[in-house]
Amino acid sequence: MATIAVPVGAQAEQNDAEAVRRPALSEYLRWSVDHKIIGVQYGISSFLFFLVGGAMAMGIRLELLTPALDLMVSGSAYNSLFTMHGTVMIFLFIIPMWAAFGNFVVPLQLGAKDMAFPWLNAFAFWLIPPAAIVVLMGYFVTPAEAGWTSYPPLSTLFSGDGQTLWALGAHLLGISSIMGSINFIVTILNMRPEGMTLWRMPLLCWAVLATSIIAVMATPFLAGALTLLLLDRVAGTTFFDAAGGGDVLLWQNIFWFYSHPAVYIMVLPGMGVLSEVLSIHSRKPVFGYRMVGLSSMGIAFVGFTVWAHHMFTSLQPELTFHS
Ligand SMILES: [Cu+2]
């Protein structure tokens, strides 16, 4: 019996047809472990949060048109809108937005079928909607009023139950960010095709790798700070209360030990995208490829040493000036 050999070209066509498969709309609305679908889910949800945060910014600006209170019923209402705006823009827009590009593009650049841990990838994304609900719910209870940086004593003594929900929601978002980043690190380190050494991978991969290392190292500090804040708020501890032997600056130190490196979580992937786009459209390899890769990693580590510049009006131990 003659076997029918499948011509190589036909096989390739079949593979191509599979590669350009258009998922149904419903696939974007439910649990999926496909990295491209998850990428689009991150992108769309982040963009929606961008619109929400942007609308809040419009409210803030309208209120500031005149010195008197016009739109808002009270100063507290303004403070809570301001807090929600910052929180939505930082934790629900700019950080997850880069996960959209990372998820969609990185496996393609590596020639990998998917991310290393597809299930974990989907789980990291699906933590975001409940976290957003918890954070935004606070707005309808007694809203958080301490800004996205949530300094005590504003966040401990002068803010309502919404502040507790804020901290719980931020906790969930941190967990999501850590899980997503572990996935990127393992994918980039383990799933490169044969012959693609670290020094040959595209610069976006370098940027996502550096970003993910920051997120894995820094986000636990946010978790620590949030845990102390929650304990102060609901369990009667005094970590941030000098009257009880605590230190109000403790929050600022731990928080910025996360949030300064987090600035690079927000910008490094953008630099990676820029390296790719410039290089493709000018049809030239990036100048100083190795230095760009190395400096991304440099930023990831040196970024941890400068948290104190956010606290220039508070007293600092001598060590930070003389090192
Ligand atoms: Cu900074």
Spacing, Cα 262 to ligand 1 middle (Å): 8
Spacing, Cα 315 to ligand 1 middle (Å): 17
Spacing, Cα 287 to ligand 1 middle (Å): 28
Spacing, Cα 185 to ligand 1 middle (Å): 24
pLDDT interval class at 141 (50, 70, 90): confident
Say what the pLDDT of residue 4 is: 55
Q: What is the pLDDT of residues 153-210, one digit of tens each?
A: 999 988 889 999 999 999 999 999 999 999 999 999 999 999 999 999 999 999 999 9
Mean pLDDT on 17-27 = 76
Spacing, Cα 90 to ligand 1 middle (Å): 14
Say what the pLDDT of residue 323 is: 46
Is the pLDDT score of 256 beyond 50? yes
Say what the pLDDT of residue 202 is: 94
Among 55-59, 123-127, 201-205, 313-317, the range scoring the smallest mean pLDDT is: 313-317
Say what the pLDDT of residue 83 is: 94
Is the pLDDT score of 321 beyond 80? no
Is the pLDDT score of 55 beyond 90? yes
- Single-letter code of the amino acid located at 193: P
Q: From CA 257, how far away is CA 308, in angstroms rounded? A: 8
Spacing, Cα 181 to ligand 1 middle (Å): 21
pLDDT interval class at 15 (50, 70, 90): low
Say what the pLDDT of residue 18 is: 59
Spacing, Cα 22 to ligand 1 middle (Å): 42
Q: How high is the mean pLDDT of the chain?
A: 90
Spacing, Cα 257 to ligand 1 middle (Å): 9
Say what the pLDDT of residue 42 is: 97
Mean pLDDT on 230-250 = 93
Spacing, Cα 171 to ligand 1 middle (Å): 21
Is the pLDDT score of 73 beyond 90? no
Among 18-22, 61-65, 141-145, 260-264, the range scoring the smallest mean pLDDT is: 18-22
Spacing, Cα 297 to ligand 1 middle (Å): 17
Q: From CA 112, how far away is CA 163, in angstroms rounded? A: 42
Spacing, Cα 278 to ligand 1 middle (Å): 27
Domain ranges of the chain: 31-322
pLDDT interval class at 89 (50, 70, 90): very high
Spacing, Cα 311 to ligand 1 middle (Å): 9
Say what the pLDDT of residue 17 is: 56
Spacing, Cα 173 to ligand 1 middle (Å): 20
Say what the pLDDT of residue 37 is: 96
Mean pLDDT on 58-72 = 91
Spacing, Cα 89 to ligand 1 middle (Å): 17
Spacing, Cα 263 to ligand 1 middle (Å): 7
Spacing, Cα 273 to ligand 1 middle (Å): 22
Mean pLDDT on 16-29 = 77
Alpha helices in the chain (DSSP H): 8-19, 25-28, 35-63, 75-87, 95-110, 118-126, 128-137, 161-190, 203-234, 248-282, 289-302, 319-322
For the full predicted model, state whether its pTM sits above 0.75: yes
Q: Structurally, what CATH architecture does the domain formed by 31-322 represent?
A: Up-down Bundle (1.20)
Spacing, Cα 118 to ligand 1 middle (Å): 33
What is the percentage of the chain residues whose pLDDT exceeds 90? 77
Spacing, Cα 313 to ligand 1 middle (Å): 14
User: What does the buried/exposed string (b/e) look like for 134-172 if buried means 16 or more CB atoms within 10 Å of the residue's CB?
Assistant: bbbbbbeebbbbbbbbbbbebbbeebeebbbbbbbbbbb
Non-local CB neighbours of 191 within 8 Å, separated by 6+ positions:
107, 110, 112, 116
Say what the pLDDT of residue 169 is: 96
Instruction: Classify 163 as helix, strand or coil.
Output: helix
Spacing, Cα 306 to ligand 1 middle (Å): 7
Spacing, Cα 190 to ligand 1 middle (Å): 32
Q: From CA 201, how far away is CA 195, in angstroms rounded? A: 10
Which residues are found with C-beta within 5 Å of the ion, ligand 1? 260
Spacing, Cα 268 to ligand 1 middle (Å): 14
